[in-house]
Structure 1
Amino acid sequence: MNRDWQLDLELWLEPFVSALRHKTRARMCPAYIAGLIGLGDRKSVQPMAARDAGVNYDQLHHFIASGVWDAAPLEKVLLAEADRQVGGSDAWLIVDDTALPKKGRHSVGVAPQYASALGKNANCQTLVSLTLASGEVPVMVGLRLFLPESWTSDPVRLDRAGVPEDHRAYRTKPEIALAEIDRARAAGLCFGCVLADAGYGLSAPFRQALTERGLIWAVGIPFKQKVHAADVAMIFPVAGRGRPRRRHIPDVKSMTAQAMLEKAQWRTVSWRRGTKGRLSARFAAVRVRVADGPPQRIRDMGAQHLPGEEVWVIGEHRATGERKYYLSNLPADTPLKQIAGAIKARWVCEQAHQQLKEELGLDHFEGRSWTGLHRHALMTMIAYAFLQSRRLKQAGGGKKNPRPAAPTEPTRR
């Protein structure tokens, strides 16, 4: 690392260092971030301390794992910096999660669970992530650990890992994501649309909570998600005998998203240029009422969910033969090309996950505590934001939201 680069980092980190309000921590924070960015394959505390003559292992370990300081001021500065770099009404806020493979059972949150990056169940920690992106430029702004029920039901494990009291109750990934979105909005983060995959999109409370917050969203769903035609009417059923019915029911049955789109008009849409030319697939979109209202017994069909919000149901047929389905509350007059562009903008968060692991050692932390893991994750996000600021400056002369050469979409491993 040349001296000019270090001076640039020190200058850029001044708002973060000021937020720490402590002389020793003001030295440790830049040293830790420089260790993440600098040379060396391993980005855990011991090898980073060994490569830096200015700090020792005990100092760096105390800073990240056991020192008494509040991460919230640094998180707020990170959100402000991300907003400066890529925020705006055309920015995406992308919800996802990423797995950190681990051995043993003592690292906080580790358990056998599905790891999307591996495409299978594995012993790992799972972090719910929030990424702000504009075009092809992502900046990670949130990483929060998901605690499986095997942890939240075991007070001894929670005590040993130092899990704070207000994080010990079980929360689903969508619930964690909503809390992170609220934190980002309270800090003034500016974005136009929330994106998420089917792991979050299948949650009706998650979609409804986004709408209640006045947010625009586009999320993946399973093909079997039930929807009603947009013109569904609520009627009083005619009672053959007994008392008259007192509750409305839909005049037609709901059907799966896949069935709703079978007779729709499909057309090829290109949403952006990749490294090998234009990226395209066949899309169809139909206005529907999503079947996520209150459950109601309907004739002899048992309990069915009543029609809820009017949204788009979207289908994607890829050249590989794979089929994907989505819901979005984008306005009814939104062109199909714009809908497809929103759906496909989510891939940049996978690029960010990959770079945080491969370049900055997100998955290299060797401690077991809640505090240490989240501080390490925060340092990697700050380091990533610094690298993005340099790339933006080099690509656009300091302009906000330049269009650098399109990076390659990461492949799932």
Structure 2
Amino acid sequence: MSAPSLERLETLSSRFVPDLVVDELCAELFASLPRSDQRRKGEVYLRGLLKAEGRKSIRNIAAHVGDRAAEQSLHHFVVSSTWDWGPVRAALARYLERAMRPRAWVVQPVVISKAGTESVGVARRFVPERGQMVNSQVAFGVWSVGEEQSCPVNWRLALTQKWRDSVGPLSPNVHESELATSPLECAAGAVEELRDWVGQSRRPVVFDLPDVDPAAVAGRFGPAGMHFVASARGSMRVRCVDPVLPSSGSRELAAHQLLLMARTLRRPVTWLDPVTLQPRTTLVVGVRVELPQAPRPLLLFGEWSDPRGWPEQCWISNMTQAPPGGLLRLAKRAQNVEADFANISQKVGLTDFGGRSFGGWHRHTTLASAAHAVRMLTQRAVERQV
């Protein structure tokens, strides 16, 4: 029998939400909530995210439940209740440790376009990928990534000074890094919190943050003993310290220029494309380099699809003894996150919260991350049955 199409699997899994998975996950997620009515509302909201039609607003979720009083009750539970989302995310992280055995964590930003100006964290921002100013929220997600699947676990919402001033005094559950002023500090706080939840200090972290200086990532995570791979621009200035390229001297070069000098050392690497689900082979080479402000040498590696041109992508890692092929496969896990965000997260309403409440945004996003986990695990069960 031929392999089922991705569209067919998505259709089957959207219809098939096993009560056993939801019951098991809810029992762990909501154990920290002190009241039985809160635990019950949490399960109702989670099931609504999985089954309600259209945009996953509180109104649509309540309509799916079919109870006129449900909208006000669920609104209070998500927007103005005081339950702490941290322990719920910690429970989700530990659940995923068992269910999917993550190989890495991936940090990616999400730009959420907004029509109005009232949603928490919204501001006019220039988005390089779109080449224009966008009225938007920007969130930084940390995803647990297994062999072929990924799930968001922890989040930070980027806040302008106006929003930081309004959020701080009103939200008792705010982690200090929630009010960070830079993307790196937002991401670092979320990663460190997740690390503490699951007790994993050596799991590699892939930073898919094109606007963050890799040297800053090295300075932030290297001294803590955390392994990382960070996307880098080809124009980044580096100094080669690798004896395989004695001709480079000690002068600073652009990263893509140095990698081009090492092109005779490239090796083919095969990896699984998460969009087509087909293996792909590209070329990779790694060179040890020094970066200004970085505390110790790092490994620069680059990838080619066309061997005749410049490297198409570059990364920096502090895992200098690891083979570049293994690091390339690790970096490619960011593509798993992109695919799962489009195919699962958006369909369970992760970006659908539209209120002013900072706590409401975090509670909704936490429950939507749990809904993503259910859909992901359901899809795995469907694949086994097809």
Same fold, judged at TM 0.5 (above): yes
Q: Tell whether 2:321 aligns with 1:311.
A: no
State the Cα deviation string for residues 189-217 of structure 1 (Å, max 9, x = none).
54631101242652423222221121221
Matches within 5 A, 1:267-286: 267-272=267-272, 275=276, 277-286=278-287
1:218 to 1:315, Cα distance in 2 relative to 1, 3 A = same
Show the counterpart of 2:4. Answer: none
1:93 and 1:119 map into 2 onto residues whose CA distance is: 28
Structure 1 counterpart of 2:231, from 214, 220, 223? 220
Work out whether residues 57 and 352 of structure 2, in 8 Å CA contact, stay in contact via their aligned partners in 1. yes
> 1:29, CA displacement in angstroms?
0.3
Q: Tell whether 2:347 aligns with 1:363.
A: no
Work out whether residues 99 and 116 of structure 1, in 8 Å CA contact, stay in contact via their aligned partners in 2. no
Show the counterpart of 2:99. Answer: 85
* Secondary structure, aligned partner of 1:47: helix
1:273 to 1:40, Cα distance in 2 relative to 1, 3 A = closer
Tell which deviates more after alignment, 196-205 or 354-363: 196-205
Work out whether residues 217 and 230 of structure 2, in 8 Å CA contact, stay in contact via their aligned partners in 1. no
Structure 2 counterpart of 1:229, from 240, 257, 261? 240
Structure 2 counterpart of 1:326, from 303, 315, 326? 315
> 1:75, CA displacement in angstroms?
1.4
State the Cα deviation string for residues 372-412 of structure 1 (Å, max 9, x = none).
11110000011111222333445469xxxxxxx9xxxxxxx
Tell which deviates more after alignment, 369-378 or 162-171: 162-171
Q: Tell whether 2:144 aligns with 1:143.
A: no
> 1:318, CA displacement in angstroms?
3.2
1:4 and 1:226 map into 2 onto residues whose CA distance is: 50
**One-letter amino acid of the structure 2 residue matched with residue 288 of structure 1:** V
* Secondary structure, aligned partner of 2:112: strand
> 1:92, CA displacement in angstroms?
1.1
1:255 and 1:117 map into 2 onto residues whose CA distance is: 26
* Secondary structure, aligned partner of 2:120: coil
Q: Tell whether 2:76 aligns with 1:62.
A: yes
Show the counterpart of 1:401. Answer: none
* Secondary structure, aligned partner of 1:129: strand
Work out whether residues 52 and 60 of structure 2, in 8 Å CA contact, stay in contact via their aligned partners in 1. no
* Secondary structure, aligned partner of 1:330: coil
* Secondary structure, aligned partner of 1:359: helix
Question: Which blocks of at least 5 consecutive residues in structure 1 are unaligned?
Answer: 233-250, 294-307, 398-404, 406-413
Q: TM-score, normalised by structure 2?
A: 0.83
**One-letter amino acid of the structure 1 residue matched with residue 18 of structure 2:** W
State the Cα deviation string for residues 346-366 of structure 1 (Å, max 9, x = none).
111112322354311112212
Work out whether residues 98 and 117 of structure 1, in 8 Å CA contact, stay in contact via their aligned partners in 2. no
Matches within 5 A, 1:156-171: 157-158=166-167, 164=174, 166=176, 169-171=179-181
State the Cα deviation string for residues 311-351 of structure 1 (Å, max 9, x = none).
2111222349672211112242x333212212212111112
Work out whether residues 157 and 178 of structure 2, in 8 Å CA contact, stay in contact via their aligned partners in 1. no
1:7 to 1:259, Cα distance in 2 relative to 1, 3 A = closer
1:205 and 1:273 map into 2 onto residues whose CA distance is: 30
Q: TM-score, normalised by structure 1?
A: 0.78
Give the RMSD, CA atoms, in angstroms: 3.0
Work out whether residues 177 and 185 of structure 2, in 8 Å CA contact, stay in contact via their aligned partners in 1. no
2:53 and 2:257 map into 1 onto residues whose CA distance is: 53
Tell which deviates more after alignment, 216-225 or 315-324: 315-324
1:367 to 1:67, Cα distance in 2 relative to 1, 3 A = same
How many percent of aligned residue pairs carry the same amino acid?
Answer: 21
Whose helix proportion is higher, 1 or 2? 2
1:161 to 1:98, Cα distance in 2 relative to 1, 3 A = farther
Structure 1 counterpart of 2:59, from 39, 46, 49? 46
**One-letter amino acid of the structure 2 residue matched with residue 216 of structure 1:** H
Show the counterpart of 1:36. Answer: 49
1:161 to 1:114, Cα distance in 2 relative to 1, 3 A = farther
**One-letter amino acid of the structure 2 residue matched with residue 94 of structure 1:** V
**One-letter amino acid of the structure 1 residue matched with residue 78 of structure 2:** I
State the Cα deviation string for residues 25-49 of structure 1 (Å, max 9, x = none).
1111011010100040121001110
1:362 to 1:276, Cα distance in 2 relative to 1, 3 A = closer
2:317 and 2:146 map into 1 onto residues whose CA distance is: 19
1:4 and 1:176 map into 2 onto residues whose CA distance is: 34
1:339 and 1:167 map into 2 onto residues whose CA distance is: 29
1:140 to 1:76, Cα distance in 2 relative to 1, 3 A = same
1:350 to 1:119, Cα distance in 2 relative to 1, 3 A = farther
Q: Tell whether 2:215 aligns with 1:204.
A: yes
Show the counterpart of 1:411. Answer: none
2:17 and 2:234 map into 1 onto residues whose CA distance is: 53
> 1:183, CA displacement in angstroms?
0.8
Q: Tell whether 2:189 aligns with 1:179.
A: yes
Show the counterpart of 1:254. Answer: 252
1:259 to 1:391, Cα distance in 2 relative to 1, 3 A = same
* Secondary structure, aligned partner of 2:348: coil
Show the counterpart of 1:113. Answer: 125
2:63 and 2:105 map into 1 onto residues whose CA distance is: 37
**One-letter amino acid of the structure 2 residue matched with residue 279 of structure 1:** R
**One-letter amino acid of the structure 2 residue matched with residue 285 of structure 1:** G
Q: Tell whether 2:27 aligns with 1:14.
A: yes
> 1:4, CA displacement in angstroms?
7.7
1:78 to 1:286, Cα distance in 2 relative to 1, 3 A = same
